[in-house]
Amino acid sequence: MLNANAKAFVPGGSSQGVTPGTQSSTVLVTNEVSLFRYILSSPPLHTPLLDEQPQSLSVLQKLMSKRQLQSASKGGAGFAATHQFVAEFCSTLSNNPNGASGFVLSRELLSLSAVEAIQEASQRDGFLFHLGDVPANLGADVGNAVAGLWEPLMTQFGQDFRVTMLGYFFIQIQNGSGDSEQAPDDCRFLHYFFVCTTPKKNQLVQLGISSFGSVANKCISEVSTIVPRIFSPALSCAVVVNLTDSSPETKSSCTVELCGDSAKTLDQLGETFHQIERFVLSKQSHDQSEVIVVNLQNVIKSNFYHVPLADVILIICQFCDRVMGAVVGITASPQQWSQPFLSRGLLDSWRFDPSTPLAEIVEARRVVFPRSTRLGCGIFSSPLSLHQYQTFGSDIPSEFRSYPADGPLLTRKALAANIDCIAKEQFKIRRQSSGVPVVVAVDRQGKIFCIDAVFGHVVAVPSICWSNALAAPHDSIFQGSLVASFRGDRQFRIIVHDVAKFNGVDVRESPFTQRWAVLDALGLDDETCWPHSSPNSVVIIRSLYASQLSQCEQLLNDSSIDSPSCGLQFVCISKKFGDCSQNFRWIPTESLVARFVVDELESLGASDGQQVKRAYLSCRESDTSNETFKMFKDEYCDFHSHTAPDLIEGCIIECSLRRAPTASSNEPNHWWELLNTYLPTDLTASVDSFAGIDDMVSSPTLTLEELRWLAKINSYLCGRCQKVNDIGKASPTLKSYQCRPCWEATGHGDCINCNATYATGSLDGVSNRFYCDNCWNTFTTPKAPQPWAPPPPPDATFSKIVSTRVISLFIDRAAAKGSNGDVLELCCGGSVVRKWLNAGVGAYVGVDNTDTAVEETFATIKQHQSASPSSPTTSKQLRMHEVICGDAFDPQTWVSQIAQVHPTQFHTVTCFSGLHHAFSSEKRARDALFAISNALVPNGLFLGSLWSANALLRKGAEYENSAFRCTWDENPSPRIGSTFTLELLDGVSEATTSCEPLEEPSHHVVPLDFLVAVAGEFKLELMREYTFTYADLLSDDDRWTRPLSADEKELLAMRMTFGFRKLYQRDLQAK
């Protein structure tokens, strides 16, 4: 019986009595052509079938009897109705195994009662169009893509009466048996058009298919008896790729020799495909799948100039897609598969042992999907067909495929070796995207190809993925990275950061600034302007570069950039393309990773309910050794077993360095944290060498704080020696920065004493401080004060009178050796203040720990300043004064008080009383002498007095006369730590002087030899000619008229003065 509504679809040619298929060679075209429309709803799953029995019914009869090919009753006659039918069909089309799987437009009425017409249609030849650009992943919406390709096909062939049937269908190919629901990565959907024709010879030329532009010519195949082929559930061929020397026994096999000449390899592949296509598509019966073995011989390690093995296999997969076949397995020995260059980019599940029977391989149905295993997981990229590969190879010269190596890692060691170069050169800085390094090539027709720069895989990407470019480039080569978006694991972006060729012009010899100007002119969006990917799941954008090192931290913290980062890349702007000698990479310390081989696994028991294991780490013995491994310093990585349940010995693991061992730590090993695990054959994980890991551990990358310092490196480049040194200053005279050695070499510097800037002078070889020539003249030209002894107060005791007179005489003699400009008096008070004020000092600072002494000193200074101008004083020269209440021998007093009120050095430091307070311990004494030396200018004086412990101890542990009484504590000794008590008799206590307070009659011993030795360590030289006792000084004083008793002379002989002079450069040179 006829199909329902069949009369409504009778084509115009039939109504005029012309039978389709019996027309002359002249193309018969009517003004209004009607086509019978049918919906195909057969299961799209196609599998390799072996030993199938021929069917008694034709495939069309079978489909119609199962109601899997049904008439579409909607719509009227004519071309417009057919167009509407196709549009409605495509509007809901997706890669879904349920529902309609295609449509058929026929000039003949297809009916179970029209047996002859069906049998005649089943015997006709035709053409198969593979739609390789239509997405193949499960669930993808493909209606728009199919509709766009169908329209030109219908325009060209819809009104040609030599075409008796045409249509569209898709098939599903999946891994495994298909009994359970498939994951997106386990199945693919392939899309086809077909055309059934009446001519037998020169069909391609006669029908104009050779000029058909909607589908590449190389994706069109001539098929004998096309209807049984396209509607059969059996794949046309099941291809097994053999990598061994011996080929499995089969009636159909061919051999391709892989060699270094990529053109020769591709030509052999082309000849092999021609043979297979002619064999599988010229059959009259398509109920079974032909098993074909493709032997790949002389498999060698390939690079960018050859065709990688993985790409050869994927090209074979592309060809199988074109002829409705599939690659169902790869035979290789375990030794072959373990070779890195062999299994790179291939899955272990695809491999079979060479001894596996072909039937078993076919029935396992481990289909090798033609996708890239690295670039976007096949979401947006597709492998190249043979024709694309050949065209790509001819359009893109091989030298452009190489990827310039990144510069060295910017560790502390690398920074020290290249610091001067970094300061001299100018750099552009970009974020180092965490992804696959790729080379983006655009051919002369504008088609985009992506080369995996690590493994050499070549894939095609959608042409509509330029982000707002003013014009799509052609004949261009870019360098970039393929990264995944933060916002979608199936969205990707190609971030372009350099260009080698643009619109046919080779720009590799141009400096980076000119190359980058080309990309700016292209108008691509940068990383901050494209938060999401395009509908094609991939978009091409350009890197965001910073021109200042100070912008490094801003780049790292820019939240608007939607791509993961693993550091920064420093690009020297003056270098040509590929010259990375002055480029550098910076990776944060917390992002440093290393790849090891698991040498041994050890179980450590349970922790928090989880089993803990320890993996001992091995690495390559040397940079050139790929097979010899050694333990890395007995170090290991601990991990919970559930995080890596399949980890076994020999696996490759990627670890992050989280902590280094310290001297105080009981744990001698580093702390390695497990990040990723890889199979031994997975080439994405190359094991690091011992030297490389050791260098990373011993010389870590710069910290963020050090990177901030690096941002200011240009300001530390010396204008004289062109070396980087952050110890220096800008010269106001030369208007440039100069390092400290150059200032010294030219005799210039900032004087530490008078604060003169860029003055001529020289360094003090002792303190390593710079002084201008004027200050040096001041230091080395003695200016002794005028002899003058301040009169004692009216109520002064004998001790006070003697101290005032003796200290004045001593200052007059010792000060002749140096300058008395600025004075620091420790344990101040009494008439000595008036002596310094009368001497015309520039500044006076006093320190004492008693409020009484501080108040008396302030009162004396105030009285001196209020004296009449005619008085013999020089108060006008006292530019500053300060009296500090504090411990004169506490380091904090020097830092927080003395240095604050008088930041520069002193010409003279005195301590005529209270020095014994500094000698309560050896450390306190050393700290006091260091502070005194540090506070003195070169040739400065340290003057003071002390009780002679040796002379007192010679009198015995207890001694007394009419003038004084001395008592030693237990175990007396003239060394640090011993103490004695000294009292004045006859009603006159030593405490009544300004030197020894009454409440502190106890004294610490000040050993003179220790004082001289430690002072010498701090470059203070004892002036022996000015070491006097009080008795000696009074005996030489003509103005002293009071006679002294024998006991008083004995007392004054126990107290002595001392003077130290600070050595300076010329003194050291003389010695």
Q: 671-678 and 652-659 as β-strands: parallel, antiparallel, unpaired?
A: antiparallel
State the pLDDT at residue 1067: 46
pLDDT score at 1010: 92
CB 328 within 8 A of CB 238: yes
- Band of pLDDT at residue 930, cut at 50, 70 and 90: very high
Q: What is the pTM of this model?
A: 0.57
The predicted pLDDT at position 15 comes to: 36
Q: How far is CA 969 from the centre of its chain?
A: 69
The pLDDT-based confidence of 939 (bands split at 50, 70, 90) is confident
Residue 963: partners with Cβ closer than 8 Å, 6 or more residues away: 984, 985, 986, 1045, 1047, 1048, 1050, 1051
The DSSP secondary-structure symbol of 821 reads S
Give residue 31's pLDDT band: very low, low, confident or very high (50, 70, 90).
very low
Q: Nearest to residue 625, comparing CAs of 696, 697, 691?
A: 691
Q: Which of 606-610, 787-791, 797-801, 1056-1060 has the highest mean pLDDT?
A: 1056-1060
Amino acid 688: pLDDT: 85
Residue 770, pLDDT above cutoff 70? yes
The pLDDT, as a whole number, for residue 684 is 45
Asked which of 283-297, 301-315, 728-742, 1046-1060 is least confident by mean pLDDT, the reply is 301-315
Q: How far apart are CA 182 and CA 203, in angstroms?
A: 40
pLDDT given at position 168: 95
Q: Which domains does the chain have, with CATH numbers?
A: 6-231 (3.30.760), 237-370 (no CATH), 392-589 (3.30.470.30), 593-697 (2.40.50), 717-763 (no CATH), 798-1067 (3.40.50.150)
* Band (697; pLDDT cuts 50, 70, 90): confident
Average pLDDT over residues 452-465: 76
In whole numbers, what is the pLDDT of the chain averaged over residues?
78
Report how many helices (DSSP H) and strands (DSSP E) the chain contains, helices first.
31, 45
Residue pair 476/442 in contact (Cβ under 8 Å)? The answer is yes
Contact 351, 304 (CB under 8 A): no
Nearest to 940 by CA among 748, 755, 764: 764
Are the beta carbons of 1070 and 765 closer than 8 angstroms? no
pLDDT of residue 10: 39
Q: How confident is the model at residue 847 (pLDDT cuts 50, 70, 90)?
A: very high
Which pLDDT belongs to residue 918? Answer: 92
Highest-confidence segment of 209-218, 494-503, 1036-1045: 494-503
Backbone angles phi, psi at 693, to 5 degrees: -70, -40
Least confident of 352-356, 361-365, 386-390, 526-530: 386-390
State residue 102's pLDDT score.
Answer: 93
- Residue 199: per-residue pLDDT: 67
Task: Please state, in angstroms and rounded to a whole number, the distance separating the CA atoms of residues 301 and 310.
Answer: 11
What's the mean pLDDT in 451-460? 75
Count of C-beta atoms within a 10 Å radius of residue 83: 17
Distance CA 577, CA 402 (A): 11
Of the pLDDT bands very low, low, confident and very high (cuts 50, 70, 90), residue 943 is very high
Model confidence over 905-923: pLDDT tens digits?
Answer: 898 999 988 899 999 899 9
Distance in angstroms (rounded) separating the CA atoms of residues 202 and 799: 136
Is the pLDDT at 1021 greater than 70? The verdict is: yes
Q: What is the pLDDT of residue 1071?
A: 36
pLDDT at 489: 54
**Above pLDDT 70, what percent of the chain?**
79
Q: What is the pLDDT of residue 1017?
A: 92
pLDDT at position 1013 over 90: yes
Q: What is the pLDDT of residue 824?
A: 93
Angle at CA of residue 892, ends 891 and 897, nearest 5°: 115
Q: Which residue has the higher pLDDT, 246 or 130?
A: 130
pLDDT higher than 80, residue 30: no
The CB-side HSE value for 803 (13 A sphere, CA atoms) comes to 26
Q: φ, ψ for residue 221 (rounded to 5)?
A: -125, 140
Task: Determine the 3-state secondary structure of 192 from DSSP.
Answer: strand
For the beta carbon of residue 556, count every other beta carbon within 10 angstroms.
17
What pLDDT, on the 0 to 100 scale, is given for residue 909?
A: 93
Token pair belonging to 34: 């009607």
Residue 532 burial (CB count, 10 A): 11
Answer whether residue 682 shows pLDDT above 80: no
pLDDT band (50, 70, 90) for residue 826: very high
Tell me: pLDDT of 57 over 70. no
Summarize pLDDT for 173-214 with one digit per residue, the tens: 887 754 445 455 678 899 999 998 886 645 555 565 655 554
* Other residues' Cβ atoms within 10 Å of the Cβ of residue 1001: 17
- Any long-range contacts for 798-802 (C-beta under 8 Å, 24+ apart)? 798/988, 798/1048, 799/984, 799/988, 799/990, 799/992, 799/993, 800/830, 800/831, 800/992, 800/993, 800/994, 802/1030, 802/1034, 802/1052
* Residue 987 reports pLDDT greater than 60: no
Q: Is 908 helix (H, G, I), strand (E, B) or coil?
A: strand
915 in Cβ contact with 883 (< 8 Å): no
- Give 919-925 contacts, CB < 8 A, sequence gap 24+: 919/976, 919/1004, 919/1005, 919/1006, 919/1007, 920/1004, 921/976, 921/977, 922/976, 924/889, 925/976, 925/1010, 925/1011, 925/1014
